[in-house]
Amino acid sequence: MPSPPELSDPEQTRPYIHYLTVDPPLGEPIQVQVGGVQPVLEIPILLPFQSEDLGEDVSGSLYLYAKDNSADLQFLRSRIPAGEFSEVRNADMRWNPKGLDPGCYRLTATLAHASSFGDNGIVREEYLYDAEAVSWLANVWQGDDSSDNNTKIADCPRVGDVN
């Protein structure tokens, strides 16, 4: 009878985001009406993911980038309890666009293990291998009639010199 195979201990993996089930959907601009009769007050964000955590919690951050590439922390998801790779979990975040000027913005959500984040909600450079990020364009417009919306893709922040 052969001996059982050698089993190795699991290794920690970065959070793998399920791109096709992210909400709001990736690849479509988020339309945000900030004025008028029914302004958008909050946008829920759901990031389904899997990771092997080896007992370490996962954290997440949400940053808003303006055309000049300035970044503003919008939401910090402090802890998602540790789990195993076989389990699909959800990172839920909230974005409040109140007070934004009309125009195009880039919204970026990042997931990583808690120890990979610095104090500012950004993954430290030496731990980038542990992070997964997704981005949306957010088209912010004011008023009740979307026909007043004249934002162009050229008005949006660029990442890595690519729009």
CATH of the domain at 84: 2.60.40.3880
Q: Which long-range contacts (CB under 8 A, 24 or more apart) does 72-81 make?
A: 73/120, 73/121, 74/107, 75/45, 76/121, 78/114, 79/114, 81/57
Instruction: Decide if 154 is inside a domain.
Output: no
Instruction: Decide if 149 is inside a domain.
Output: no
Instruction: Decide if 30 is inside a domain.
Output: yes
Which amino acid is residue 74, in one-letter code?
A: Q
Instruction: Decide if 99 is inside a domain.
Output: yes
25-61: per-residue pLDDT in tens?
998 889 888 877 777 788 999 999 999 999 999 999 9
Distance CA 89, CA 18 (A): 10
Structure tokens at 88: 């699909």
Tell me the residue range of the domain where 37 lies. 16-143
Instruction: Decide if 40 is inside a domain.
Output: yes
Distance CA 25, CA 30 (A): 9
The reported pTM is: 0.85
Domain count for the chain, please give it. Answer: 1
Instruction: Decide if 23 is inside a domain.
Output: yes
